[in-house]
Amino acid sequence: MVSFYPGPSAVYPEIAAYTQEAIQSGIISSNHRSGPFVDLCQKVISELQRVLEVPKDYTVFFTSSATECWEILAQSLIENQSLHVYNGAFGRRWKEVTEKIGCSTQALVFDKETLPSLPFEKSIDTSWIALTHTETSNGTALPVEWMRTCRKTYPEAIIAVDATSSLNGVYLPIDQADIWYASVQKCFGLPSGLGVMICSPKVREVAYRLGENKHYNSLINAYEMMDKFQTTHTPNILGIYLLYRTLQQSLPVREREKNLLQRAEDWYRFFETQKGDFQLLVTNETVRAATVIAIQGPEDRVADIKKRAFDAGFVLGNGYKEYAKTTFRIANFPAIEPKDILHLKDFLSPILSK
Ligand SMILES: *Cc1c(COP(=O)(O)O)cnc(C)c1O
């Protein structure tokens, strides 16, 4: 089976060997306060700095998932209210989780074919801005230029970015926002159960000023431990080891992304040139995501294509929430192999054109 699901998705083929290494070397049985773990933690952070261009004064945290990052931020970092700028289900979910934790939130919902126009309306509180870089549910993304304009427009704001299905897949301007986070089962090509959260020096200041300390994963506890390259709780050491080993073999994302962007371009052309009932969900090229492609079609045909693909050994991504029945999704994550993409295209062509 080859998975094109946008998370969990295909993992790098080397994961099997790295897992064995983690067991044989004893790292997964090391105490998380011990030298070997601290050393691993230090090394994986320098690999993240190299590969993702994380500025040296940003702090990296390990969490269990992107969902946990939503909670940590709501617990420890939102002072007055957060503004959630989104066009789909993951952005909406972040807002809902934040509200449940007890924060007041505001929504700025935009159409999936457009970009939110900057500056936002004057009446909106822009002290804390939550953005979803790639909206995995509909296959849209915020261009790097838009991120830069947002930073320039709101230099004082805390800008937090859910980059779960793009971090480590495409280049992201880490210095243009205060918080970036992702789970590793998307563009890192790793098994699920680990999240990475990257925070600017401003985040440390705000976290300590607020001093929220009620949860095992409260941000000031995490800072206190990470200053010693440790975590508040026993982390996913295997996941951290696999992250380290895959990053160690990786070129900087800025060099790697050309290949991924070309693959995305090829996928989009592939679907654009099909004559049948299926179309790309997103028509505006400038907002199309490079890492997740959503294809729209009649319900019966969407169900049929997913089933036939499964029988042929391909897992296509289901549609998500409002698009559950009328779309399917294809992950364009780095760990997916070119030969599998060719096979899937060969399989899809005759079905799509009917
Ligand atoms: C997958 C995804 C999440 C949720 O990730 P978990 O690992 O399940 O917490 C959140 N946001 C976006 C944009 C995603 O694609």
173-226 pLDDT per residue, tens: 999 999 999 999 999 999 999 999 999 999 999 999 999 999 999 999 999 999
Mutate to test the pocket of ligand 1, among 70, 72, 84, 90 (most ligand atoms within 8 A of CB): 90
Q: pLDDT tens digits for 55-74? A: 999 999 999 999 999 999 99
Percent of the chain with pLDDT over 70: 100
pLDDT at 339: 97
Residue 354 has pLDDT above 90, yes or no: no
Residue with tokens 């900057």: 118
Q: Radius of gyration of the chain from Cα atoms?
A: 20
Q: pLDDT tens digits for 311-327? A: 999 999 999 999 999 99
350: CA distance to ligand 1 center in Å? 33
State the average pLDDT over residues 96-117.
98
What is the rounded CA–CA span in Å between residue 239 and residue 191?
A: 7
Residue 231 has pLDDT above 90, yes or no: yes
Instruction: Find how far residue 95's CA is from the centre of its chain.
Output: 16
Which residues does residue 288 pair with via DSSP β-bridges, in sequence order?
140
Q: Which amino acid is at 316?
A: L
244: CA distance to ligand 1 center in Å? 21
Which residues does residue 57 pair with via DSSP β-bridges, in sequence order?
none
